[in-house]
Chain A
Amino acid sequence: MAVLVIADVHGNSIDDSTHKTVTAAQAIGGDVDILVAGEGAGEAAAAAAKIAGVRKVLHADDPAYANRLAEPYADLIVKVAADYDAILKAAATTGKNVMPRVAALLDVMQISEIVDVVAPDTFTRPIYAGNAMQTVKSSDAKKVITVRATAFKAAEEGGSAAVETIDAAGNPGISEFVGEELTKSDRPELTGAKIVVSGGRALGGSKEFEEVIFPLADKLGAAVGASRAAVDAGYVPNDYQVGQTGKVVAPELYIAIGISGAIQHLAGMKDSKVIVAINKDEEAPIFQVADYGLVADLFKAVPELTEALG
C-alpha cells in the first residue's frame, strides 16, 4: 500500500499543512510519498524530503505549476496516481480547486475535508457547517481525499527521503494566469497561527478594525481573522474570513471581538483550544462556546486589554 501527499507549495517553500497531511496519510498506512510541483521549487522538494517517515519525494518542475492552475496540476497528479492507493492534499484553496478535478478524471468520489481516519477506507468529516459529523466508508479502489489540516498534528522533521525528478504532464492550454493580489502582512498565517484575534461587524469600519484589532493582534503576535459580515462590509480582505466557507482555524487562543457567533462562523473556529469572546450583547451566541466571556463595549475593553498585556 502506498499513499501520495500533494505538498502545498508556495514559491520555494512548503506550508505546514503539508506536514499535517502527512500525518493523515500515515494514519491510513503504507508508504508515504510526497509530490512537490512548482517552478524553481527545488528547495521546496528538499524541505519535503526532511519530513520524518516519508519514503520519497517526487519533484515536477515546470512553469505550468507556478501558479497552481487546476488543469495542468490535475493532469500531473493523475499521471502519477497509478502507483498509489490514496492521494491526499490539504483542504486549502488549491486542494479544494484541484482535487475534485483529479477525482473525476480517475472516476473516484472524493472525500472532502476529513478530520479523522477511522480505517484505511473509512473517514470522518464535518457536514452542515460542522453541526454534524459524517463517517463514510469508500468503495472506490483508489481514494482521493482532502484533509482539514487543523485536525492533524504536524509530522516531525528529521527524515532524509530521496528526491526523484519527474517529467511534467504537459499543459492543456485552456487556462492562463493573469495576476494575483496577495495580502501583505508581517503577521502569522491565519490557519497556522497559535493565537487568532478576529473582529466582527460591530467594529463598524476598516479604520476601527486597524485601530482596535491590529494593535491587540500585534501585541500577542497573533494572526487577524474576521467574520463574514466584516469581510462583506469591506473592513478587511476576503482571505481574513473565518467560517464554514472561509478558513477553518484551531489555534491555542481565539479572541472573538464584536462577533455575534453565527453557526457559519462557529464552524470555522470552535475547535480552538481556548476561546475568548468580547461583545456588548450578553445574549450573543458566541458566549455559548467561549471559555471566557466579557460583556463590554469593545472600543473600551480591547484597548484596555492591549494596554494590560504591555
Chain B
Amino acid sequence: MKILVPVKRVIDYNVKVRVKSDETGVDLANVKMSMNPFDEIAVEEAIRLKEAGNAEEIVAVSIGPEKAQDQIRQALAMGADRGILIKTDETVEPLGVAKLLQKVVDEEKPDLVILGKQAIDDDSNQTGQMLAALLGWPQGTFASEVEKGDGSLNVTREIDGGLQTIKINLPAVVTTDLRLNEPRYASLPNIMKAKKKPLDVKDVADYGVDVAPRLEVVKVTEPPKREAGVKVESVADLVEKLKNEAGVI
C-alpha cells in the first residue's frame, strides 16, 4: 500500500494570535510556524501502518510557501519516504487544496490518503472530505482507530454521542482526530537523514487547476472580549452570587 500524507504549515499551536489593526488578517510576521498538529498525527499513523507491514511507501505533500519545505522535512524525519512541495504564496482554500491533491493522487496513485481533520489556522475541517468527494472515494473522518483489512479499512470515528466504526473500501481518505496516536519526535540522526531524502518542488501552475478563492475576506476582527469578573472568598459566597446576582441557579 502507498500512502499520501498532506501536511500544512500553520502558526504554531502555542502562539497567541494577534489580529492586525487594519483588519485584513492575523499577524504572521516573525511568528513561529509548525506543522498542523493533526497532520503530525496523520504522518505518525502512516508510519505505523508502514512499520506494521501494511504500507511500503509514504509520500508527504504540502501546498504553501517555499518555507513549507520545513514541514515536509519534518515528515521525512519522522519517517516519510519522500516529499512534494506545491509552491504558492497565495492562500489556497480547502476546495483548491482538494483539487490540487486530486491531481497528485492521479499521478502518485496512493491507496490511502491520511489528512488532519482540520487545520488550526482556518479551522475549516473540509479538505479530506472534499478530496474524497472529488475522487469518488469513501471517507473515514475524525478517526481514533484505523485497522487494515483485506482491501478495506475499519475506521473508528469520534462522533457526538461516542464512537462509530465503519468499514470503507480502499482506496480511501482518512482524517485524524486527536486520540488516534501520539506523534513521535524526530531523532537527530533521522533529521540529518531526512535532508537527503528526495523532495520535488513544483508550482501550483504546473497542475492546471483553478484555485482562485471563492471567498473574499471582508475583514478579520478581534472576538468580543470577555472581562474577568470577581474572585469570591468562599463556596457560600459563590452560591449567594449565583443565586442572587447572576440568577442562574
Contacts and interface: CB of A to CB of B under 8 A. Distances in A.
Interface residues on B, range: 35 or more
B215 A138 contact: yes
B129 A287 contact: no
Interface stretch (B57-65, B73-81, B164-172, B190-198): B164-172
Interface in A167-222: 172, 174-183, 191, 195, 220
B97 to A, nearest CB: 11
B118 interface: yes
A109 B165 contact: no
A271 to B, nearest CB: 8
Contacts of B141: 70, 96-97
Interface in A133-165: 133-140
Interface residues of A, number: 90
A149 to B, nearest CB: 11
A174 B242 contact: no
Interface string A95-127: 011111111110111111100001000100011
Nearest to A113: B123
B139 A70 contact: yes
Interface string B91-129: 001110010000000000000000001101111111111
Interface in A256-310: 263, 270, 273-276, 282, 287-296, 301, 304-305, 308-309
A252 B248 contact: yes
Contacts of A41: none
Given A93-B160, A128-B17, A309-B239, A136 B126 contact: no
A130 B223 contact: yes
A183 B26 CA distance: 39
A100 B167 contact: no
Given A109-B215, A238-B144, A301-B235, A101 B132 contact: yes
Contacts of A30: none
Nearest to B99: A104
B19 interface: yes
Contacts of B179: 231-232, 238
Contacts of A61: none
Contacts of A109: 93-95, 213-215
Contact of A139 (B214, B223, B246): B214
B227 to A, nearest CB: 9
A239 B93 contact: no
A112 to B, nearest CB: 5
B249 A220 contact: yes
Contact of A175 (B11, B38, B138, B223): B138
Contacts of B126: 100, 103, 110, 112
A295 B131 CA distance: 48
A69 interface: yes
Contacts of B157: 93
Nearest to A302: B235
A289 B226 CA distance: 6
Given A135-B219, A274-B248, A308-B239, A112 B232 contact: no
Given A103-B95, A292-B241, A97 B139 contact: yes
B234 to A, nearest CB: 8
A132 B220 contact: yes
Given A97-B142, A136-B216, A294 B235 contact: yes
Given A238-B179, A308-B239, A93 B159 contact: yes
A290 B222 CA distance: 19
Nearest to B182: A232
A253 interface: yes
B201 to A, nearest CB: 26
A289 B228 CA distance: 5
30 contacts: A74-B133, A93-B160, A97-B142, A101-B139, A104-B131, A122-B218, A126-B123, A128-B120, A129-B120, A132-B17, A133-B222, A134-B220, A136-B215, A174-B168, A175-B168, A176-B168, A179-B164, A180-B163, A181-B163, A183-B161, A220-B249, A232-B179, A238-B163, A239-B162, A247-B160, A270-B223, A292-B246, A293-B228, A294-B231, A294-B234
